[in-house]
Amino acid sequence: MRWILITLLATLTAFTQANAETLYFTAIPDEDETRLEERFNKVADYLADELDVDVRFVPVKSYAASITAFRNNQVQLAWFGGLSGVQARDRVEGAEAIAQGVEDRAFHNYFIANTETGIERAEELPEAIRGKTFTFGSQGSTSGRLMPEYFIRERFGQAPNEVFSRVGYSGNHTRTISLVESGAYQVGALNFAVWDKMVDEGSVDTDKVRVIWKSPAFPNYQWSIRGDVDERFGEGFKDRVQKALLDMDDPELLESFPRERFVPVGNEHYEPIRKVGQDVGILD
């Protein structure tokens, strides 16, 4: 009898563990992988405490992979850029943008140049970048590709490969800085927040690379969540996740983004990104 009870308890325990829901989330790989792992493993711990569920961060190798993971329900929550968020939500019925950083309401690009080019900072995107070598970040990045291409086309009336002697894609913002600093590319465009953070950390040699232009503002990063999370985790779960993100007040955790705090947002706030994506030819 005792053996039967032990077996039954073991079976029930295994069944409970197998059916315990885990919230999986990911983030676009816009920075060095080590930085991302450190940041989002801490976010996972915070969300697990706030939501009282197991939470796991799932790293991905590309922007496209983050969208695919969201579409296939391999993750239920994601930290997307403006463009990747629009693309992901289009693929998942009921998916919603639920929180963004205060800074994401009016985000900016920095265009940077190797100092040996002699290009100085200007109020307008400098004509002197024409004919130089240029690197975007990731091909799927809002602030690393979409908006920089839009601003280049707006300024010069030409596609990037007609403006520059060579165009490349670094893969992420930190790599863009490294490539321009080293002279591998003469000019590049990136997320202003990554630049500011790396300069503050002393990770940029500003004798070798400088900001030459700051773009107009546009909406960018956001947390997006699948529309079926309440069905999976219980009624009101989406609202609980949103509240946990809006209530995040650990200065160290917020600084890792870096963001001052998170605020509510909705899908409609990213319609300007959709329009630019359609104008540039990235979105249908």
Domain-ending residue, one of 195, 214, 233: 214
Residues 262 and 233 occupy one common structural domain? yes
pLDDT for the residue numbered 14: 36
Residues 204 and 239 occupy one common structural domain? no
Q: What is the CATH number of the domain that holds 160?
A: 3.40.190.10
H helix or E strand, kind and range, residue 127: none
Q: 204, 183, 184, 208: which is closest to 192 by C-alpha?
A: 204
Residues 198 and 140 occupy one common structural domain? yes
pLDDT for the residue numbered 124: 97
Residues 10 and 94 occupy one common structural domain? yes
Domain-ending residue, one of 190, 214, 238: 214
Would you call 214 helix, strand, or coil by DSSP?
strand
Residues 26 and 92 occupy one common structural domain? yes
**Residue 253 domain boundaries:** 2-104+219-280
Sort 90 into a burial class: Cβ within 10 Å, 0-12 / 13-18 / 19+: middle
CA dihedral 194, 195, 196, 201 (to 10 degrees): 90
Residues 89 and 174 occupy one common structural domain? no
pLDDT for the residue numbered 226: 98
Distances (CA, A) of 276 to 64, 90, 126: 19, 16, 22
Domain-ending residue, one of 161, 188, 214: 214
pLDDT for the residue numbered 18: 33
Number of domains in the chain: 2
pLDDT for the residue numbered 277: 92
Residues 94 and 123 occupy one common structural domain? no
pLDDT for the residue numbered 35: 83
pLDDT for the residue numbered 15: 32
Residues 20 and 71 occupy one common structural domain? yes
Residues 161 and 242 occupy one common structural domain? no
Taking only the tens of pLDDT, the chain with its 284 residues reads 454 444 444 433 333 333 358 999 999 998 778 888 988 999 999 999 999 999 999 999 999 999 999 999 999 999 999 999 999 999 999 999 999 999 999 999 999 999 999 999 999 999 999 999 999 999 989 999 999 999 999 999 999 999 999 999 999 999 999 999 999 999 999 999 999 999 999 999 999 999 999 999 999 999 999 999 999 999 999 999 999 999 999 999 998 888 999 999 999 999 999 999 998 888 87
